[in-house]
Structure 1
């Protein structure tokens, strides 16, 4: 059974700063998109859900798509309406506040922000609409009507590091982060620790595609491809990317060099249709089950018992995992399982900073 840690929403403003950095972003078409998924056959008990995606929204094959799966499952089960709005990389704080306010004024409940960028704007809007329930992924907002959906990304990334260390032939691996922010550093920290705990002699290259408020590192497959190619040229033969759609470029680069592996993120990228031509190079993926957190929030509102506070989805609960699609890690699964057990029983403490 999934263990969920609840923390009272009050008194966690400082934690919000530490955690309010999004998972791996996505692509961006530089337009604000709105799609109405309302169903005319929805019953009177349907849920009217509003979602504000990170840049790119549906179609990033990673972070946003995981959230979308949760939305789709909830809509199929409960009926009602689904309104989707998508951020731009050029968004200002005012843009994000307006996006959430528009959903609140239209009566959507719950309203879910996908990613760290919505933290400050959600606090402002949630305070103004205390009767509505809000949810945010990968951040902690100090408001009584917000469900803070967070994950132990470092734990799944540790297992990716173990896999990389066991699969590398060159004793040289790499990590590519989308944006140099605290949450993505959790991915880096876990991966590096997993590699070094397995074999200290392995070299690890770490590179970020953008920094600070520049979120283009989550939305630039060309940058991901160039970064991966640079690592491959220097001898790395396993590359893990936590960079939204930029990671798709990394996977493409790896696929172009025989004997090398890519590790995907957030979604099971081996089974993403648009990446099918590269699947022979996707060793595994660190899956972050955003869909579970989003679905449970919508269900709670449907059931009349809205989830609020901080809900942490960990390795022990299946909140994060290392997938086995393709069978490429079958030969090392026993060792990965052993590492997983050590994390769950507390023998191994995974770092959250490099």
Structure 2
């Protein structure tokens, strides 16, 4: 049996057609789409890497509304897809509803917290990678004021912000961090106009480096930063190429590796919790030809020292998720 999906107007319609039994994997991309140049696109790149290396095929859907989450899970499970990889914390509740009904199907919950015998949940040490981004921001800033723009105001994004602020303060204890969230609903992930407005507001407060952890909204942040002559920091995927010489770095969250590994393991993947930290190369900062002119030897040395310190345990990066507080940044 094969499964196809297409979008009719604003709604997605998935059609099942009869055929030979199949066990292809499936990927459910969250709101914002697989070409959001950030979180979803990192997952897409991992899936494509698997497909190109193995010649395999995977089923997919780009969600257009909250209502499609559970429907997509059930349609794929009924079609025999295995495993079913989901992008984003918002898939946790739908997985908790659906996974028990399909005990022979493996589900992957990236950025979620589903705890079920047939679910693999993958999280990342975003605070550690963001610490490194903060080190670079502080080294690059001339004003002593840097910015952070998050997407939806949730503990996960505050985790990015808190790690970033700690990295900034480790270099310049007197630095000012201006932090804003885009909104409180999933629409906050795909509002580049609001991202642009927030960037201009932070520039007015003196910020000359702005870190965006906001999905598709971050595209507006990076564009406006480039237009206004300040530096930006991308997130999840390597976004340095979007504005060469204007993006200081990108905090890499190796969602591509998580998706690739899940598809490679297939129906044999091991359930349970995984955390991809700095030591496991699950997070980091992007260095390439596009940002090379911006990265000084002093900055590289500081990042290398911070990396070694975090991996060894000498540097303890406060994790907002542990107690939903941040000693160096008030929200």
Q: Which TM-score tier does this pair reach, normalised by the shorter chain?
A: 0.7 to 0.9
Cα distance in 2 for residues equivalent to 1:77 and 1:126: 29
Residues in 2 aligned to 1:32 and 1:152: alpha-carbon distance in whole angstroms: 35
SS of equivalent residue, structure 1 residue 236 = coil
Match of 1:233 among 194, 204, 207: 204
Deviations 1:41-93 (A, max 9, x none): xxx9x9611111110221100000000111112222333432111223x414x
**Which structure 2 segments of 5+ residues have no match?**
1-7, 321-325, 327-331
Matches within 5 A, 1:164-179: 164-179=137-152
Task: Say yes or no: does 1:193 pair with 2:166.
Answer: yes
Alpha-carbon distance between aligned partners in 2 of 1:337 and 1:290, rounded to the nearest angstrom: 23
Q: For the structure 1 residues 237 and 319, does the alpha-carbon distance in structure 2 shift closer, same or farther, using more than 3 Å as the test?
A: same
Considering Cα pairs closer than 8 Å and 6+ residues apart, tell me whether 1 or 2 has the greater RCO. 1
- Indicate yes or no: 2:320 matched with 1:350: no
CA distance in 1, matches of 2:131, 2:304: 12
**Kept in 2: contact 1:284–1:322 (CA 8 A):** yes
Find the residue that maps to 1:127 and give its secondary structure.
Answer: helix
Matched residue SS, 1:280: coil
Partner residue of 1:26? none
Match of 2:259 in 1: 294
Aligned twin of 1:12: none
After superposition, the CA RMSD in angstroms is: 2.0
User: Which residue does 2:225 correspond to in 1?
Assistant: 254
Q: What's the CA shift for 1:307?
A: 2.1
Kindly indicate whether the alpha-carbon contact (under 8 Å) linking 1:225 and 1:249 is maintained by their aligned counterparts in 2: yes
Q: CA deviation at 1:33?
A: 5.0
Shift in CA distance, 279/231, structure 1 to aligned 2, threshold 3 Å: same
* Aligned twin of 1:24: none
Q: 1:113 aligns with which of 86, 90, 99?
A: 86
Structure 2 distance, partners of 1:80, 1:268, is 25
Aligned residues of 1:34 and 1:86 also touching (Cα < 8 A): no
- Distance, in Å, in 1 between the alignment partners of 2:9 and 2:30 is 12
**Structure 1: how far apart are the matches of 2:31 and 2:85?**
14
How far apart, CA to CA, are the structure 2 residues paired with 1:35 and 1:279?
39
SS of match in other structure, 1:256 = helix
Query: What's the offset of the Cα at 1:34?
Result: 7.1
1:64-103 map, 5 Å: 64-88=40-64, 90-92=65-67, 95-103=68-76
Please give the TM-score of this superposition, normalised by the length of structure 2.
Answer: 0.88
Residue of 2, 20, 24 corresponding to 1:48: 24
Q: 1:132: how far off?
A: 0.8
Report the equivalent of 1:144: 117
Task: Tell whether the 8 Å contact from 1:33 to 1:84 is kept in structure 2 after alignment.
Answer: no
Q: Deviations over 1:149-179 (max 9, x none)?
A: 1100010000011111111000110000001
- Counterpart in the other structure of 1:329: 295
Corresponding position of 1:263: 233
Give the aligned length: 306
Q: Deviations over 1:97-124 (max 9, x none)?
A: 1110011011111101100111011112
Q: Deviations over 1:204-232 (max 9, x none)?
A: 10000101xx1111100001011001111
CA distance in 2, matches of 1:243, 1:310: 25
The 1:338/1:209 distance shift into structure 2, 3 A limit, reads same
Partners of 1:62 and 1:221 in 2: CA distance = 13
